[in-house]
Structure 1
Amino acid sequence: MGDRGKTEEGADFETAIAECGFGLFNVFILFSAVPCLAAMVFSASALSYVMPSAECDLNLTLVQKGMLNAVTYGGMILSAVPWGFMADTFGRRPVLISGGWLDGIFILCAALSQDTLQLMIFKFFDGLIICGPFAVVVSYLAEFHGKKHRPYIMLFVGLAVSMGSMMLPFLAYFLMPVSIYFKVGSLEFRTWHVFLAISAIPSLLSGFLHIFLPESPKFLMAQGNYNKALKSLQRIYQINKRKSRDSYPVKHLSDVVPDRSEVLEQKSRASSLKERFQKTKEKFLEGTRQIKPMFRKPYLSISIQVYCLHFCQITCVNSVRLWLPQIFATMHVMEAQGFNDTSMCAVVEHNNLAMTLNQEEKKMECDLRHSPDSYLDNITVSGIGLLGFILIFPLLRIRLVAHHILKVFLFFCTFLVGGLYFCTDTLVTMLVSAIYLTLMGICATTIISMSVVIFPTLMRTMVLMLIMTFGRLGSLSGNIVLPIFMQISCMAPFLWLCSLMAAAFFFSLFLKVDDQQPLV
């Protein structure tokens, strides 16, 4: 009776969301998040599967391949702060809807590209747009679930990303070996163009599904819009409990932010151009006030640690992950040509020599690159990653595991990435890289999960954007620098990756976060 009385007086967010339970609404919001999370993987990784085929049509050099892998991340870096500002000022839902549709359009434009420059430009815009929905959907999911389910929700993000990583090589396995060629006017289209066009589906689907979902109640409460937040919570309660909205036990909401519902409702009725401009100006000034705490204690020092850690680990992850399709394709070409040595050093040397082949020799090599076997290796790597998330899922509920998993995995990964140098055949390379990418994927999800509970609502998406920006900065620099190291020597890229992994492990030693604490 005491709890019920408290909810009728005025409940905080954690109490209010707990009353909604977990049901059909939560299933639908998770289902809607999957295309958005998969879209991020598709945007970042699609070109790495296209490269073994497209390099022949576009005559790509080793450096151009690195640039194509990196250009999407360049767009993500530039748009991170604007997207974060918009999401923390105007809301999560508008970003998810508009971002999904816009990203799908730019991917379709990339699928129409006829040369390297066009492909780079549209993939840059793809990165510019997809950055927003991906970071926002993490905050959005966290803000629709209570602390009982939140750790599982954050792991679900990693699981969905792993599913996206597995869908992409499956698509490549069935589509890329098929010879497709047709012309529309002066435009020529091949298999890889069709592959890119299909990769736009998750973005378009994400934009469509989020039309049917409400704004985050936690975001609305943080803005002082309690009336709208209560309506959002009542809707969740109605769908989950299959009861009327009026039976929702919480009648009033309370938070540290004063109730501004009436003021906000009056502002939303502004119709003239001058009033709308004034409203946007106020939103902008309000947003700048909200991010000021990022540059003061206690958030400044911990955010710098997280930024540096994420930079180092994502540089290493994407330096390996985005080049794996190219590595496996080269290994299978070498096996088909009768090479006995398919070690990493032999692969690097073969790719360097491939640049000097004449047109006829290049065509023969390109034909061999369409082997389905090379895509099977990528499917296996992604499958092991998915299995790893499923196995680790229940273990993260154990406090001791949750507190130390980041440090332990980063320590082991330092040796795993160095171990790739000693891999001598396709099978060993596949297993070592699969274990490495699985452990690193869990580490990346753990950092995002930590960040969600560390930072308050009105700066949460901005901080997540900045964390991901540092990771993407690592991906960008990694994919530009890696081809240069490959041309210097075989050992150089591995020494570089091991050094970054050691730095990531060092930063992880200072991070301590309780993922059971309530959202602020």
Structure 2
Amino acid sequence: MAGNAEEAADFETAIAECGFGMFNVFILCSAMPCLTAMVFSASALSYVMPSAECDLELSLLDKGLLNAATYAGMIISAVPWGFIADTFGRRPVLISGGWLDGFFVLCASLSQDTAQLMAFKFFDGFVICGPFAVVVSYLAEFHGKKHRPYIMLFVGLCVSAGSMIMPLMAYVLLPVNIFFKVGTLEFRTWQIFMAASAIPTLMSGLMHMFLPESPKFLMSQGNYTKAMESLQRIYKMNKRKSKDSYPVKRLTDTTPDRSAELDGTDRRFTRKEKFNRAKKQFSEGFKQLKPMCAQPYLGLSLKVYFLHFCQIMCVNSVRLWMPQIFATMNALEKQGANDTSVCAVLDHNAEALPRNSDARKAECNLHHNADSYLGNIIVSAIGLAGYLVIFPLMRISFVANHIVKVFLFVCIFLVGGLYFVKTSLVTVMVSATYLTLMGICATTVIGMSVVIFPTLMRTMVLLLIMTFGRLGSVSGNILLPLFMQLSCLAPFLYLIALMTIAFLCSLFLKFDDQQALN
């Protein structure tokens, strides 16, 4: 380290001295299941729906409400999770959230009717909301300025990989005809699929037990002793040297040193004193949120919230209905229908066949065909390839500053173009391009937010950004079935209007993810 070894170092200097090595590889591997679990929680029902609609006798509105249930849970839990993560730390949220979410996903797989499935998916969303936002902050706070921009590339790649793993699981599992009874409970293929989707979140809870708390968070709390221990552990694992050889001997931050008070190393506390300390910590946690309600962060955050609301409302209105659309397209093609356009599919879904009719049973059997999941696999593969091509270009400042505006503008025409496509192949290509570009936009907005908001409000702001996106998802999945029932053109006009608003909003934001953490 340049200069006097005893000179106090800030976070960026201290984390740079740790280098990049095995510790970073392990923390990235631990984040993978958490990021994948979020995709599984949000998307599993959209793959289950074509198979489960016959078993649960789902109407068009039931499908919309089921898609919205997970997001409703995420919305309600966002503020509590953000407060806990920014007050008590990232690590407890990642561990407890992973185990608890796995429990609720397994409960959802035991559901015997629509109400049970909706309730457990609500709690699934309620729990997974915290770990997903926290893991983004957690990753950013373990990497320096040199590597931090690549973290959002990694997040995007994991989300894309999760989006590809899900249809591959559906392709392998859902066409298999499984049925068995345990007492009065009946289990079918889609419930086995739901149970398998609990694996990533359980893995996330387990793997984060072996990782330390974020050193940046500990420094912002004034706990420099534990922050130093965390940094020394990273240094030891990356450099294969002893902790004592870590060149940084003293840390500095805007927060006064409170290590002895926070660790309880100065003396033992009574139960009453521990309770008072916890109460004080809650009080200080609320004080940390005050800057969110004042300039310069208030105006900026409101713009980001509104942009994310519009773009996620658009993207999830399309993404969560794609498995249903591709399954119906496949069924119509197998039945020899002449018209397999998106409009024909939407009209077919709006005119639900009578329950228990022979025609409905025949179509349900076609939904179990493996070919109905190929479209989703292609869409996910194109999305993954898109991230690999685009995100390295984000190191170029001109690209980083304008990519969201350009992509949102292009997506206005792509979502409108879906109205005119007539074949399943063109539908797959247009929807894949649209979802890829929109996914990159959403990841870029979150990446920008990681660096421009301070540590003690970072996770809360990320959760609020995602909450507005999920509000958009809930609204979109309730409104889209209503527009579908009006006419084929109505949902497309609605999506074009939202995309235009998102594009106009992006013109008032500057995107830069290559600055130091506040």
Q: Name the TM-score class by shorter chain.
A: over 0.9
Separation (CA, whole Å) in 2 of partners of 1:519 and 1:445: 18
Are residues 1:378 and 2:361 paired?
no
Give the CA RMSD over aligned residues: 1.2
Matched residue, 2:290: 292
1:310 aligns with 2:308: yes
Shift of the alpha carbon at 1:202?
A: 0.4
Q: Deviations over 1:453-496 (max 9, x none)?
A: 11000000000000000000000010011000000110111111
Q: Which of 158, 177, 180 is the matching residue for 1:179? A: 177
Q: Cα distance 1:274–1:76, how it changes in 2: closer, same or farther (>3 A)?
A: same
- Asked whether the 8 Å contact 2:354–2:360 carries over to 1, the reply is no
Q: Percent identity?
A: 72
Aligned counterpart, 1:324: 322
CA contact (8 A) 1:267 1:279 kept: no
Secondary structure in structure 2 of the residue aligned to 1:422? coil
- 1:513 to partner: Cα distance: 3.6
CA distance in 2, matches of 1:180, 1:259: 60
TM-aligned CA deviation for residue 279 of structure 1: 2.2
Q: 1:263: Cα distance to partner?
A: 1.4
Pairwise mapping of residues 85-484 of structure 1 onto structure 2 (< 5 A)? Answer: 85-266=83-264, 272-356=270-354, 358-484=356-482
* Aligned residue-pair number: 518
Given that 1:61 and 1:355 are in contact with CA atoms closer than 8 Å, whether structure 2 keeps it comes out as no
Aligned-pair CA distance for 1:376 = 1.1
- How far apart are residue 32 of structure 1 and its match? 0.3
Structure 1: where are the runs of 5+ without partners? Answer: none
Equivalent residue, structure 2, for 1:502:
500
Q: State the match for 1:18 in structure 2.
A: 16
Aligned partners of 1:7 and 1:15 also within 8 Å: no
Q: Secondary structure at the match of 1:518?
A: coil
How far apart, in 2, do the equivalents of 1:268 and 1:418 lie? Answer: 65
Q: CA deviation at 1:123?
A: 0.2
Alpha-carbon offset, residue 349 of structure 1: 1.0
- Counterparts in 2 of 1:163 and 1:141: CA distance versus 1, 3 Å: same
Q: Tell me which amino acid in the other structure corresponds to 1:412.
A: V
**Cα offsets for 1:65-102 (capped at 9, x unmatched):** 00000000000000000000000000000000000000
CA distance in 2, matches of 1:413, 1:47: 25
Q: Which amino acid is the alignment partner of residue 110 of structure 1?
A: A
Q: Deviations over 1:324-359 (max 9, x none)?
A: 000000001101111111111110111122244652
Helix, strand or coil: the match of 2:418? Answer: helix
Where structure 2 has 5 or more consecutive residues not aligned to the other structure, the ranges are: none
Q: Which amino acid is the alignment partner of residue 467 of structure 1?
A: I
User: Are residues 329 and 269 of structure 1, via their aligned partners in 2, closer, same or farther at CA, if it must alter by over 3 Å?
Assistant: farther
Instruction: State the Cα distance separating 1:277 from its structure 2 match.
Output: 2.3
TM (norm. structure 1) is 0.98
Give 1:6 shift: 4.5
User: Within 1, Cα distance between the matches of 2:514 and 2:240?
Assistant: 28
C-alpha contact 1:4 1:249 (8 A) present in aligned 2: no
User: Quick one: distance in 2 between partners of 1:72 and 1:155?
Assistant: 25
Q: 1:36 pairs with 28, 31, 34, which one?
A: 34
CA distance in 2, matches of 1:27, 1:235: 14
Distance 1:87 1:268, change over 3 A: farther
